[in-house]
Amino acid sequence: MKTVHLIFTLLIGLASGCQQLDLVPISQKSVEGFYKTETHINQAVLGCYNGLRNAWVTSQTSYMLTEARTDNTFQGTAYDDGPINRFDVTPTLPVLSSAWSLYYNNINRSNRILEAVGTIDMTADKRKQYEGEAKFARALFYFDLVRLFGGVPKVTTSLSIDESYKLTRSSIEEIYDLIVSDLTEAANLLPATYDNANKGRATKWAAKGYLGKVYVFRSGYPLKKAEWTKAKDAFEEVIKSGQFEFFDNYDNIYSHQFEGGKQQVFSLLFKTGASGQGNPFPTRNASNDVAPVPVAQGGLPFGGSPFNLFLSNDLLNSFEPGDKRKTSAIRESWLHKSGQTITTLPTSQKYQNGPVTVANDWDIDWIALGYTDVLMMYAESLNEIGYSASGEAFQILNNVRKRAGLAPKTAANVPDQASFRLWMEKERRAEFCFENLRWFDLVRTDRALDVMKAFLTQYNLGGNVKSRDQYLFPIPQSVRDVTPAITQNPGY
């Protein structure tokens, strides 16, 4: 069941009312006095999930700032993702301001919940759950912000407009410390499971999984804190919980038939035909010229989108022969509106599965944290703690390869820790293409500079990749115009 979606429709007025001002962070005076009952708190918490859906899937900010930043795509268009892909970004790029405002609006929603939840009559278990959900959401919003912009203002209470004008930036480490604190507390507050009516809410295992992921990122560039044992321990708890399963069929992971299954540690729910609560991802990543006919006929119901990702030959050529992940994730032949079959412009076909009633409105959940991702980061942690020829880390990656139809690797192929890192990078690229993970992976491993310079050199744009300053985006100019104490990132 997807009862959560029925309540999302109640949030349209609330969500829009909380996002009218483009100040960062915004004043919350418009919702003063709203939180009077448990129902109000529940609605606001569901608004946090809606904020995550908007940040990661519904809006264009996430894929433009992540997937379009990588060697998986080459965006020669004039949309915002064009200069992002070409490393030609300026502080006035509209998507930067949109992303900043989106994240801080939702952070302030979380803050308001945390301020109000202790003042309203409800059971102790419900209070713990709502507090855990608000901290979980706040942590994830800050996790994106710190990886996109670096040190940002740390806001943990609702602010007046005058207070927001005086904000300054906290350090990257301070923001990560807040994220770790929120996720640690969330893991202690959240239940391990929910009934069917509440599927889609964050569990303690989702918080533990993200906590492990945060330790992985803190261990990499720029902090390099080497918290691999902490990461391993967090992932180990998720693995040993018995709540999750490694699917033997790659296609099943993204199938509507198996959504909400044990391959998903945390997912964002979507439902078609429910006032815009459907998933736009399958349509957005299909060519704008695809015929509006069923997939079985070579098209896509209701057609594609002008905002689709243009896949790079570099990505296409990166798959090993026989890799099932390529045929599952990429459509290399499709039917044009004219009736012609196109074989020279491959597109993404991930998540093109399940009911759809209108364009951009698919009934397919988005996997925000998959069990395979947890397993692979666990294997990476093991390797960083100490390379072990043909050890557990090898076994995990070889299980991933077996599912993809590929032969296992041995210590003869991967003789040391450095070789394992590159193997992991390659497998993660194939496994999670179009899921907005590769850019952050390249940055944390400090490989983005070399990889993207080599990639863009193929297009005579290698000179655009100048330094590690470009691992971060510029602070939006609109933010600095109204909050002058917020300094700009180096290089911009």
Distances in Å between the alpha carbon of 134 and those of 42, 50, 183, 488? Answer: 10, 12, 10, 29
Is 19 inside any structural domain?
yes
Q: What is the pLDDT, as a whole number, of residue 33?
A: 59
Burial letters 302-320, b for 16+ CB under 10 A, else e: bbbbebbbbbbebbeebbe
Taking the model in full, what pTM does it have? 0.93
Chain centroid to CA 289: 27
Q: To 10 degrees, the CA torsion angle through 240, 439, 136, 264? A: -40
Counting the structural domains of the chain, the total is 1
Is 462 inside any structural domain?
no
Confidence of residue 11 (pLDDT cuts 50, 70, 90): very low
Q: How far apart (Å, rounded) are the C-alpha atoms in residues 479 and 196?
A: 42
- Does the structure show a pLDDT above 60 at 30? no
Q: How far apart (Å, rounded) are the C-alpha atoms in residues 15 and 13?
A: 6
Report pLDDT digits (tens) over 186-215. 999 999 999 999 999 999 999 999 999 999
Is 74 inside any structural domain?
yes
Q: How far apart (Å, rounded) are the C-alpha atoms in residues 172 and 153?
A: 10
Q: How far apart (Å, rounded) are the C-alpha atoms in residues 175 and 177?
A: 5
Q: What is the pLDDT, as a whole number, of residue 120?
A: 95
DSSP 73: B
Q: Tell me, what CATH number does 164's domain have? A: 1.25.40.390
Confidence of residue 257 (pLDDT cuts 50, 70, 90): very high
Is 414 inside any structural domain?
no
Is 97 inside any structural domain?
yes
HSE-up of 48 (CA within 13 Å, CB side)?
A: 28
- The residue segments making up the domain with residue 29 are 3-200+473-482
- Does the structure show a pLDDT above 60 at 8? no
Phi, psi of 255 (to 5 degrees): -90, 140
Q: What is the pLDDT, as a whole number, of residue 165?
A: 87
Report pLDDT digits (tens) over 432-477. 999 999 999 999 999 999 999 999 999 999 999 999 999 999 999 9
Is 224 inside any structural domain?
no
Burial letters 248-279, b for 16+ CB under 10 A, else e: eebeebbbeebbebebbbbbbbbbbebeebbb
Q: How far apart (Å, rounded) are the C-alpha atoms in residues 443 and 473?
A: 12
Q: What is the pLDDT, as a whole number, of residue 25?
A: 42
Is 73 inside any structural domain?
yes
Is 376 inside any structural domain?
no
Closest residue by Cα to residue 374 from 268, 249, 215: 215
